[in-house]
Amino acid sequence: MLGGWTVLPEPVIITQSMLAFEPPLSIEQLELAARQIRQDIIFMIHTAGAGHPGGSLSAADIVTALYFRVMRVDPRNPQWPDRDRFILSKGHACPVWYAALAERGFFDRSHLATLRRLDSILQGHADMRKTPGVDMTVGSLGQGFSVGIGMALSGKLRHKDYHVYVIIGDGESQEGAIWEAAMAGAKWGLDNLTVILDNNGIQNDTFTRDVMPVEPLAEKWRAFRWNVIEIDGHNMQEIVLALESVKSIKDRPTIIIAGTVKGKGVSFMENVPAWHGTAPDNEQAAIALAEIARGLR
Amino acid sequence: MSAPNSRYNFVLPAIVADLGRENPFAGAHMEATRYSYAAALLELGELNPDVVVLDADVSKSMRTSDFARRFPERSFNFGIAEQNMMAAAAGMATTHLIPFASTYAVFASLRALDQIRNSIHYPRLNVKIAASHSGLTPGPDGVTHHGQEDLSILRAIANSTIVAPADSITAKQAVFAAAAWDGPVYLSFTRDPIPTLYGPDFPFRIGKAVVVREGSDATIIALRDLVAHALVAAERLAHEGLDVRVVDCHTLKPLDVPCVLQAARETGAIVTAEDNVIFGGLGSAVAEVLVENEPIPMQRIGVRDIFTESGPYLALLEKYGLSARHIVDATRQVIVRKRQR
């Protein structure tokens, strides 16, 4: 039934582990959860035969920390008005979002095998009307961030204490609208908004520095009057500390610039531009799942 | 034959009395519908605490600054950043606010089109897009500020609802109707004053076109600022013995198909009149219905395949073929074609 799994050596699969834990997870549990999410990503994209593994894997630790430790959400009530919001503005990486939502219990894991198929609840880029837990439809780069500005303004207007988390990419930072939103976040002092920049250094064509350099990012965001935190986006301790620290920042929004590795966790995908938007074949998927299970160092 | 006035529905008697004069709207109350929009927002703001207004540095021009003064906490000026404004409006709508995002038609429909498509219409979020400076009404500002394609562009987007009211009364009604409508609505307003045609009894309903002049020889289907010119044209044609129906098709989408088909069957000839390019707008919408259901002679009034120029609004209508005179000519021609069949 789950075609992608059948080619794999049995012991490497970490199945169903996450539902055994009740959030918030410890750092060690989060690291294990992130491995599960990464396996789900490989499985989904391999099964679909298309998708974006590189940017999904680079964001996996951050998304895991958000859904299993930091964010206040209720999988049984995805539309809960007081929930924290999450927007994956770099929407092509939605397999990481779907994996986290499935593991968190928003929908059954069996849906993961339907990514990009006809009649699936899991569209090639996320659709809020089809997928439980998806707070905004994304896919056209540079828009999800602005949507987060709107959600945060609404929270302020209504004196709600929900927090809005948005993940953007370094390639996405070439969109002019990102900087429109950056100005707006500072103007309204949106301390209920946190942007995490998944700075994996690679975009669709090749390395970001070669396509259109976006650095120095920290200086840019400081100049836009944001609270800037720089972390290793694969160090769970640093991710959690950064995300939990933003609650004490008042009157300005925070950007966490997370240094990440595109394709993180799979040796042959790491830092290779070709894995931005290519699905692994059977053999590659088997190797990838085994490596993730072992945990690369 | 009945008296001329009995041919009109909802049109103010004073307007009807003057339609045949050399300067038909000399005595009319004139109002730019962008100001009607702003006035309606003030009332709406009192009635509905979920209504918020977003601006992109044209709040003085659209008088949404009045709303900002009355409800400062519900007013958000995004600066010259229409893309951010539109997507932020979408974000607000996910929390069940009712955002009115205000800018000029060119910037709403072109600069922020990707946001309008992907962040508002695809997820069908409850955002109201208020577009002033429609058509050639910003005349002297020149082509960069003429909103001559927005109706066509918005019509191509799934889940879109497009309302282009013909005067100040229906503009206000449209704002209230849009707030009550579940889903995105694109509202089209004029920069320049246009005559107030109707009394408050106008039965405004999104999607319901209104026959404002009865007639049997042909039908002129018009929207927004050209409804007034269509009425003038019909009156001139009446002096030639031609009895022409006029429809105010204030909702371009969803088009009132039964009204169009009834006009086709009862009058046998149709002219569309829109201050918009002739591609993809009202003329196209009506033609699509006719060609598949009731193929009859039809002609279109609109901006041809051309960028116009700076100039007074009415002078531009005259030079580029959108005035009452042109509507009269097109109607005569379409009636000739009908009679030759």
Quick: pLDDT tens for B103-113: 999 999 999 99
For the stretch A137-157, pLDDT in tens is: 999 999 999 999 999 999 999
Last residue of a domain, one of B195, B220, B247: B195
Q: What b-and-e string marks burial along B154-170, b requiring 16 or more CB atoms within 10 Å of the CB?
A: bbebeebbbbbbbbbbb
Contact B119 A128 (CB under 8 A): no
Tokens of B92: 């607000």
Residue B2: predicted pLDDT: 44
pLDDT tops 50 at residue A4: no
Q: Give CA separation, A40 vs A11, A62, A98, A276, B279, in Å.
A: 15, 15, 9, 17, 48
Q: Which residue of B has its CA nearest to A83?
A: B95
In a shared domain, residues B133 and B92: yes
Residue A295: predicted pLDDT: 83
Q: Please list every residue in chain A whose beta carbon sits closer than 8 Å to the beta carbon of residue B84.
A: 146, 149, 177, 180-181, 184
Tell me, yes or no, whether B1 lies in a domain.
Answer: no
For the stretch B281-295, pLDDT in tens is: 999 999 999 999 999
**Which helix H or strand E contains B248, and what residues bound it?**
strand B244-248
Beta bridge partners of A79: none
Cα gap B190→B197, rounded to integer Å? 15
In a shared domain, residues B50 and B74: yes
Cα gap A85→A160, rounded to integer Å? 12
Contacts of A296 (CB under 8 A, 6+ apart): A265, A266, A267
In a shared domain, residues B34 and B23: no
Kindly state the DSSP code that residue B212 receives in the 8-state scheme: E
Query: With bands split at pLDDT 50, 70 and 90, how would you rate the model's confidence at B1?
Result: very low
One-letter amino acid of A152: A
Instruction: Give the position of tokens 């992907």.
Output: B118
In a shared domain, residues B181 and B35: yes
Output the DSSP codes for B73-128: GGEEE--S-HHHHHHHHHHHHHTT-EEEEEEEHHIIIIITHHHIIIIIITTT---E
**Interface check A64 vs B, CB under 8 A:** no
**Interface check A49 vs B, CB under 8 A:** no
Q: Which residue of B has its CA nearest to A184?
A: B78
Tokens of B215: 């007639």
Pairing assessment for the beta strands A227-232 and B30-31 based on DSSP bridges: unpaired
Tell me, yes or no, whether B34 lies in a domain.
Answer: yes
Active site residues of B: 82
Contact A147 B76 (CB under 8 A): no
Query: With bands split at pLDDT 50, 70 and 90, how would you rate the model's confidence at A8?
Result: very low
Cα gap B149→A185, rounded to integer Å? 32
Residue A22: predicted pLDDT: 79
**Interface check A214 vs B, CB under 8 A:** no
Q: Which residue of B has its CA nearest to A131?
A: B123
Tokens of B116: 């309008």
For the stretch A38-89, pLDDT in tens is: 999 999 999 999 999 999 999 999 999 999 999 999 999 999 999 999 999 9
Contact B83 A140 (CB under 8 A): no
Structural domain boundaries, residue B102? 30-195
**Which helix H or strand E contains B300, and what residues bound it?**
strand B298-303
Cβ neighbours of A213 (radius 10 Å): 11
Residue A7: predicted pLDDT: 39
In a shared domain, residues B182 and B236: no
pLDDT tops 90 at residue A296: no
Looking at CATH, the fold of the domain delimited by A56-262 is given as Rossmann fold (3.40.50)
First to last CA, chain A: 33
Of A139, A153, A155, the CB nearest to B88: A153
Contact A136 B123 (CB under 8 A): yes
Tell me, yes or no, whether B2 lies in a domain.
Answer: no
Contact A129 B124 (CB under 8 A): yes
In a shared domain, residues B322 and B183: no
Instruction: Give the position of tokens 């580029």.
Output: B320
**Interface check A143 vs B, CB under 8 A:** yes
Contact B76 A153 (CB under 8 A): yes
In a shared domain, residues B146 and B206: no
For the stretch B143-185, pLDDT in tens is: 999 999 999 999 999 999 999 999 999 999 999 999 999 999 9
Contact yes or no for B175/B40 (Cβ under 8 A): yes
**What CATH number is associated with residue B50?**
3.40.50.970
Selected residue of B95, B103, B111, B118 to mutate for chain A interface (largest A Cβ count, 10 A): B95
Residues counted in chain B: 341
For the stretch A255-280, pLDDT in tens is: 999 999 999 999 999 999 999 999 99
Instruction: Give the position of tokens 């694109």.
Output: B186
> What angle is formed at CA B289 by the lines to CA B288 and CA B293, rounded to 5 degrees?
120
For the stretch A274-287, pLDDT in tens is: 999 999 999 999 99
In a shared domain, residues B138 and B211: no
For the stretch B76-93, pLDDT in tens is: 999 999 999 999 999 999
Q: Which of A18, A63, A17, A14 is nearest to A39 (CA)?
A: A14
- ipTM > 0.90 (yes/no): yes
Contact B81 A128 (CB under 8 A): no
Residue B4: predicted pLDDT: 53
Mean confidence (pLDDT) of chain A: 93
Cα gap B51→B41, rounded to integer Å? 8
Q: Which residue of B has its CA nearest to A148?
A: B91
> What angle is formed at CA B23 by the lines to CA B22 and CA B29, rounded to 5 degrees?
150
> What angle is formed at CA B160 by the lines to CA B150 and CA B285, rounded to 5 degrees?
65
Cα gap B10→B246, rounded to integer Å? 12
Last residue of a domain, one of B195, B218, B244: B195
One-letter amino acid of A208: T
Tokens of B212: 């404002």
Tell me which residues of chain B have a C-beta less than 8 Å from any C-beta of chain A.
52, 73-74, 76, 78-79, 81, 83-84, 86-97, 99, 114-115, 117-119, 122-124
SS3 content of chain B, % helix, strand, coil (to 5): 45, 20, 35
Q: How many domains does chain B have?
A: 2
Tell me, yes or no, whether B254 lies in a domain.
Answer: yes
Tell me, yes or no, whether B310 lies in a domain.
Answer: yes
Q: Which residue of B has its CA nearest to A157?
A: B73
